[in-house]
Structures are given as structure tokens and as C-alpha cells.
Amino acid sequence: MLISVVHIVFRVYYVLLLARVIMSWVSFGDNAVTRFIYEITEPVLGFFRRLIPPRPSFPLDFSPILAFIVLQLVERLVLRLIIFLV
């Protein structure tokens, strides 16, 4: 049960991150859904942007890629800890 909840929480966050990436390519305007997605994802993406700041000569933002990788590692770690402790 707990494993399913953790898995679902991470999947929902992955979808929100993917929506944020798509929203950076296409303008959806300023509405409640857009603000919610930005507010939920910015703490994680902002953290990785501080680690790898964007350069003016190379405008690609690698923070979403790094966030996906690290979140998958954290998800695996949390799931293994749950399995080990239960």
C-alpha cells in the first residue's frame, strides 16, 4: 500500500515536471493551473538551476533533465527503504 502511494506521488510529480517543460516551449497564459505547476516544480528546478546555471552562449536549461534523473534515484532509494523497513 505505502509503496503504491509513494510510486503514485513520484509519477504525478514527473507529469508536473513534464508539463512545466512543455509550458516553457508553448505559452499557456497566466491561469491557476499554470501558477500551480510553476509553484510546485520551481523549488526542485530552481535548486538544479543553482547547481548548473544557464549560460548566455548556450541557452538550453538542463535542470529538468537533472531533476528527472535525481528524482528517479530518490524514488528508488525511498522504495528500497520502505521494502527494507517493512
Name the residue with cell 528546478.
45
45-69 pLDDT, tens digit per residue, is 999 999 987 777 877 888 999 999 9
8-20 pLDDT, tens digit per residue, is 999 999 999 999 9
Q: What percent of the chain has pLDDT over 90?
A: 76
* Residue 10: Cβ-neighbour burial (10 angstroms; 0-12, 13-18, 19+): middle
pTM over 0.95? The answer is no
pLDDT at 71: 97
